[in-house]
Amino acid sequence: MMRLPLFEFRAPRTLEEAASILDGERANAMPLAGGTDLLPNMKRRQQVPRMLMSLRHIESMNCVALNDSGSRLGACLTLSEIAADRRFRNGLTALAQAASLVATPQIRNMATLGGNICLDTRCNYYDQSYEWRKSINFCLKKDGTTCWVAPGSSKCMAVSSTDTGPALMALGARVRLVSRSEEREVLLADLYNNDGIDYIKRRPDEILAEVSLDSLHGWKSTYWKLRRRGSFDFPVLSVAAAVRLRLLAVR
């Protein structure tokens, strides 16, 4: 049985309080939403923060605002909530489909939109217990010097397995990143780096608080996922598309 390492737990009630905690703790703390990715990583000793800071009690991060001018989605919305909400249709269908295809119902009940966007990169050599990884002298992503996916590569080849990311990119989504010193909005397509270790441009002191989209009135979207097993598997390939249909008058 793999056990969690000891950690301190904090549960702020406001985004400002959460940002202040991260600013004070820096690399010693990590935000916790659903925990479906972070907690297994901690059991495997891939991430060992001294403090976990829950975001689930921050009301603004659990809200949905859908109107004609656009959408604002709190980062702590669960994937089950998104998949089941009939408001996430037509223009937002791709997001609902992506959320519905993540893992199993039990995990979707806990996993959050923000957590899925920020999902750690993975590969067959990294997603193993500490003892297994030690037996191969670890890997470039954690504690080693060789990327076992491509031993001749100087870059980690672990890949992202987010489902909601491609869907939201097709929809032109932006994310709001909040720290104690500033707030900034980043196009989701610009949030990621092509590197298995330095894979995301969110700083350790920043919280991904919200996803925003422009009006999708008149749009249609869809998401398709290729996976080895027909259920609860990570994507081998993800494809999302969004189009706006316009009727032209014929004379």
Q: Which residue is it, tokens 């403090």?
A: 51
* Contact (CB, 8 A) for 150 and 156: no
What does the pLDDT read at residue 250? 66
The first and second tokens of residue 60, run together, are: 């603004």
Residues 4-58 have pLDDT tens digits of 999 999 999 999 999 999 999 988 999 999 999 999 999 999 999 999 999 999 9
Which is more confident, 67 or 246?
67
Q: Return the SS3 of 35.
A: coil
Of 13, 23, 1, the C-alpha closest to 181 is 23
Burial 191-224 (b: 16+ CB within 10 A, else e): bbeeebeebbebeebbbbbbbbbeebeebebebe
pLDDT > 70? residue 223: yes
Residues 134-162 have pLDDT tens digits of 999 999 999 999 999 999 999 999 999 99
What does the pLDDT read at residue 152? 95
pLDDT > 90? residue 248: no
Domain chopping of the chain, boundaries: 8-122+159-244, 123-156
Task: Please state, for a pLDDT cut of 90, what percent of the chain lies above it.
Answer: 92
The per-residue pLDDT of the chain, averaged, comes to 95
Residues 49-88 have pLDDT tens digits of 999 999 999 999 999 999 889 999 999 999 999 999 999 9
User: 8-122+159-244 in CATH: which number?
Assistant: 3.30.465.10
Query: What does the alpha-carbon distance between residue 165 and residue 192 come to, in Å, rounded to a whole number?
Result: 10
Residues 173-209 have pLDDT tens digits of 999 999 999 999 999 999 999 999 999 999 999 999 9
Burial zone of 126 (CB within 10 Å; 0-12 exposed, 13-18 middle, 19+ buried): buried
Residues 6+ apart with CB under 8 A from 146: 137, 139, 140
Q: CA 170: distance to chain centroid?
A: 16
